[in-house]
Structure 1
Amino acid sequence: MIRRARRIVTKDELPELEAKAWEIVQRIGVFGHAELAVELSVSPRHIPPMVRKWLEEGRVQIKIHQAKGQRARFEPTFEYREPKDRISQVAHQLWTAMRGLKKFTPTDLAAHCREDLRVTVPEASAYAQALLRGEYLRVLQRAAPDQKREATYQLLKNTGPRAPCEKRVVALWDPNEGVFSYVTGVGRMERAK
């Protein structure tokens, strides 16, 4: 078995090391001290202080407590876990912006999103409309297209850090009986008598 050399990191290199470690954590999810040390090719002594700092900041949580013969395992907390698909990332950014603003327009929401996502005003508007249908928002001021004024919203229901998302439901429709025989998430449907 060939082992990579593990190097000692200087104090000046610690911020860069932490940034690389965080990228690895985002990629692998559940981790232990040993995995990070091996991935970074550094001495294992650099890892515990970094993980303790993340625990204090709330960036990670303990998944498995250290027990006899078993090492502690950690995972990013939900707020710091990167969603994989763009739609989830956009919804998360828009929801986070809504939770922080007292009132907002779709332009405000798009402006508060990460630049690399390139969230458009129509996307922000569509998300706000979905939440309005779900009674998460209320309209403070209606849109006036003739005056080029957007609607202004206020968040009514702040249910937590996870962004509510629209989902498409697959269903099996039987036109002979005029009923849905199966709905995803609900299961088999019986005809009402």
Structure 2
Amino acid sequence: MSIALEGLPFILAGIALAAAGYFVPRPYGPALAASGLLFACFCAYFFRNPERVTPDDPKLLFSPGDGRVLSVKKENPEGGDTIRIFLSIFDVHIQRAPCAGTVEDIRLLPGSFVAAMKDEAKLNARNIVKLQTPRGAVEVEQITGLIARRIRCWVKKGDPLQAGERYGLIQFGSQAALHLPPNAKARVQPGDRVAGGLTPVAEWKD
């Protein structure tokens, strides 16, 4: 299992803190070293970037991230359902394309920093990637939280993406959302656990 490059500065900082602890007299030195090692281990775990094989089924749309489904409801009168997923600090925070498509637009919107499990979090600072597919447009959101305030988006307009392909990262607890077009229907419900690029969360109607 690899680690996202964005995590390396945090891991190295923890290792440096642990190393510094060996030069600090007792009783503070061992505590400092242990704290540094624990921090480095946690960051290595948090920024893990597992390899995954997304099922080859063009009729399905897969979860854009790991976590627990918060809500499945129609938020846009002209669109389909929106699936919102809460990512705790223990979930993988890599975001993946729900289906194959081409990046048509990317919008980074300002907003608040409400706790990601709350309904108001949909107005938090967020990044929206619009994918154009043969069956219609699909939008995926990376949403900040109370602690998670850094969004990394690794794609640009015009980039082709395959289903399950990594496209970004949110640092620490956050939310991901998938906005479906009218010709797709959700296959999950609130409370379901999902895995990015593996769990089918919706399917095309046609």
TM-score (norm 1): 0.27
Q: Name the structure with the higher strand share.
A: 2
Larger relative contact order (Cα-Cα within 8 Å, sequence gap ≥ 6): 2
- Structure number with greater Rg is 1
Q: Name the structure with the higher helix share.
A: 1
